[in-house]
């Protein structure tokens, strides 16, 4: 994989240990072995040595394998970018927007080439089928854009997890709470770890036992939600 740094209006200075710079309109495109653009990192400004560059108001666009179509966007307020690792990290906010929905959080560590996003707090996963929120999370995604409809491969949310707006007959409740939830693109399901506390029209109940240890929400409904 190949990444190329492009700067507009860059000012370069020599530091004590290594070359440093400041720049506006940073652009870092990444290409696969065939020369196809698969990812592009941009930022309003960049400062510091090339090994650990501080970015402000940044974005990473992911492109489809067979076209120049942008299929997902990773937006962040601030980041420390380590080019040799293709890694961005910060204590600020970040948001991944893809066909399956939007995942956001505050405080993160993201391996762009490996397709791994660790979220430290205030995690939300909003899609048309469900809403998940919790204290921390991990997202695995396809960094090469092989399938534009399934860039997010897996999302795990932990710690005081709430589940709402589930548009499926497999989840006949208004709200659910658990300590662990996992979305799996391959299964097209959300897995809630037992015990799960659920509310339906103000009535509370607890799901305490299943064969697998998880309450499964099938995201491919075959009917209408229970009344």
The residue written with tokens 């970040």 in the block is 94
The average pLDDT across 161-170 equals 76
| Residue 226 located in a structural domain | no
Task: Give the whole-angstrom CA distance, residue 101 versus residue 72.
Answer: 10
Residue 24 lies in a domain: yes
- The pair of structure tokens assigned to 191 is 């897995």
**Taking the mean position of all CA atoms in its chain, how far away is CA 43?**
18
Domain count for the chain, please give it: 1
Instruction: Decide which of 50 and 24 is more confident.
Output: 24
pTM of the model: 0.86
End-to-end CA distance of the chain: 52
91: domain CATH number is 2.60.450.10
The answer as to whether 225 is a domain residue is no
Q: Given this model, what pLDDT does residue 192 score?
A: 96
- Residue 142 pLDDT > 50: yes
- Once rounded to an integer, what is the mean pLDDT over residues 42-56? 91
pLDDT, mean of residues 63-89: 91
> Is residue 147 domain-resident?
yes
At 19 the pLDDT is: 56
Name the pLDDT band for 128 (thresholds 50, 70, 90): confident
Q: In sequence order, what are the residues at sequence separation of 6 or more whose Cβ sits closer than 8 angstroms to the Cβ of residue 211?
A: none
pLDDT of residue 7: 44
Helices (H), the chain: none
Which residues, other chains included, contact 35 with Cβ-Cβ below 8 Å and sequence gap of 6+?
A: none
- How high is the pLDDT of residue 65? 78
Residue 97: band (very low, low, confident or very high) from pLDDT cuts 50, 70, 90: very high
Q: What is the mean pLDDT of the chain?
A: 86
> What is the per-residue pLDDT across 12-21, written as a single tens digit (0 to 9) for each?
443 444 556 6
Position 198 in a domain: yes
| DSSP structure class, residue 114 | T
What percentage of the chain carries pLDDT values higher than 90?
63
The Cα-based distances of 56 to 13, 30, 41, 53, 88 in angstroms read 20, 19, 12, 10, 12
215 phi and psi, to 5 degrees? Answer: -90, 125
Span 201-211, pLDDT tens digits:
889 999 999 99
Is residue 125 situated within a structural domain?
Answer: yes
- Of 38-52, 102-116, 178-192, where does mean pLDDT reach its minimum? 38-52
What residues are paired with 176 via a beta bridge? 163, 198
Percent of residues in the chain assigned helix, strand, coil, to nearest 5: 0, 65, 35
In a domain, 223, yes or no: no
Q: Which of 74-83, 146-155, 212-221: highest mean pLDDT?
A: 74-83
Please give the structure tokens belonging to residue 208: 């305490």
- Establish if 14 belongs to a structural domain: yes
100 is in which domain, residue-wise?
2-218
Is residue 130 pLDDT above 60, yes or no?
A: yes
Q: Residues with Cβ < 8 Å from 99, sequence gap 6 or more? A: 71, 72, 148, 149, 150, 151
Model pLDDT, residue 223: 44
* Residue whose tokens read 């939830």: 181
């Amino acid at each position: 994989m190949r990444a190329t740094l492009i700067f507009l209006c860059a000012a370069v200075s020599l530091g004590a240990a290594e070359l440093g710079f400041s720049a506006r309109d940073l652009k870092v495109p990444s290409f696969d072995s065939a020369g196809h653009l698969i990812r592009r990192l941009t930022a309003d400004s960049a400062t510091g040595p090339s090994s650990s560059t501080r970015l402000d108001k940044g974005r990473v666009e992911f492109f489809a394998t067979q076209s120049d179509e942008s299929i997902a966007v990773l937006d962040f307020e601030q980041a420390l970018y380590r080019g040799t690792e293709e890694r961005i990290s910060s204590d600020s906010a970040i948001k991944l927007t893809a066909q399956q929905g939007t995942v956001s959080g505050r405080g993160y560590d993201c391996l762009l080439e490996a397709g791994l996003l660790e979220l430290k707090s205030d995690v939300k996963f909003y899609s048309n089928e469900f809403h998940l929120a919790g204290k921390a999370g991990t997202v695995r995604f396809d960094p090469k854009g092989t399938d534009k409809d399934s860039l997010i491969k897996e999302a795990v949310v932990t710690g005081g997890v709430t589940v709402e707006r589930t548009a499926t007959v497999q989840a006949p409740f208004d709200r659910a709470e658990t300590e662990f939830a996992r979305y799996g693109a391959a299964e097209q399901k959300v897995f809630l770890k037992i015990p799960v506390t659920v509310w339906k029209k103000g009535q509370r109940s607890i799901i305490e036992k299943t064969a697998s240890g998880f309450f499964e929400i099938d995201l491919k409904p075959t009917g209408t939600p229970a009344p």
